[in-house]
Amino acid sequence: MVEALNRNQVAWRVANDIDEGAFVNLGVGMPLNVLNYVPEGREIIFHSENGVLGMKPLEEGAEPNLDLINAGKQPISMLPGGAFFHHSDSFAMVRGGHIDVCVLGAYEVGQNGDLANWRLPNTKSAPAVGGAMDLAYGARQGYIMCDHNGRDGAPKIVKQCTLPLTGAKCVTKVFTDIAVIERADDGMVVREMAEGLEFEELQERTGAELRLANDWKTLTAPDIAPPEKRAR
């Protein structure tokens, strides 16, 4: 039986991959949860494109300040020394190459590192690509956090993207519920696989060609409850 991670566990795994002192932007959706799982004692400075630097999760039981939110409109708190600034200054930080890591969601990731994450056919998707385009090119490393397969079972890591691109060759690593995959010069390299998953099965569930690293590890995470499902 494959022991896939839930989305909170994937967020934990991403947070543990980010280096001490890094400046990090979290995309809207699943990536915002990374903020909740920073390892104790590790300083990571989180940036939000709406003009915040040094945000942290809202403390349990704290009264939210509705003027203090992240790009996903969620209430947040601030680290000592945190700052607020104009939206244009926020994007100057991104475009100027001052963000070490961006964590984004994905509809498709191409074998060459292309990213498509803003429009799906026949759906009410975003009218334009938005800030993800700036992050894809401006950040030094592009981390992708997503389910390995869609609800229909189709792979999200594919040989070539068919959806409109957010950025070309901008993906560094992909963190899914069953694997951690790194883009290398010679293709997509599997660094970690879920317990009980064979490489052949992982390849079958992936559209891109994979290579198993010689020093691959089992993908594990602490026992963390999955996110609560939103009422529809």
What pLDDT is attached to residue 144? 98
Domains in the chain (CATH in brackets) are 7-219 (3.40.1080.10)
- For residue 228, pLDDT beyond 90: no
| Exposure of 160 in the CB half-sphere (CA atoms within 13 A) | 1
Asked if residue 123 has pLDDT above 70, the reply is: no
Residue-wise pLDDT for 192-213, tens only, equals: 999 999 999 999 999 999 999 9
> With 60 as the cut, is the pLDDT of residue 230 above it?
no
pLDDT at 125: 63
Residue from 49, 60, 182, 200 carrying the catalytic annotation: 49
| Residue 49 annotated in active site | yes
Is the pLDDT assigned to residue 128 strictly greater than 50? yes
How does residue 141 score in pLDDT terms, banded at 50, 70 and 90? Answer: very high
pLDDT band for position 61 (50/70/90)? Answer: confident
Question: How far is the C-alpha of 172 from the C-alpha of 73, rounded, in Å?
Answer: 27
Stretch 56-74: mean pLDDT: 92
| % of the chain residues with pLDDT over 90 | 86
The per-residue pLDDT for 220 is 96
Average predicted confidence (pLDDT) for the chain: 94
Task: Report the SS3 class of residue 120.
Answer: coil
Give the pTM. Answer: 0.94
Strand partners of residue 117: none
Q: Give the E-state strand segments of the chain in sequence order.
A: 23-26, 45-48, 52-57, 76-84, 101-104, 108-110, 115-116, 141-145, 157-158, 173-175, 179-184, 187-194, 210-219
Average pLDDT over residues 146-169: 96
Least confident residue range of 4-8, 58-62, 201-205, 218-222: 58-62
Would residue 21 be called left, alpha or beta, if left means φ above 0 and alpha means ψ between -120 and 50 degrees? left
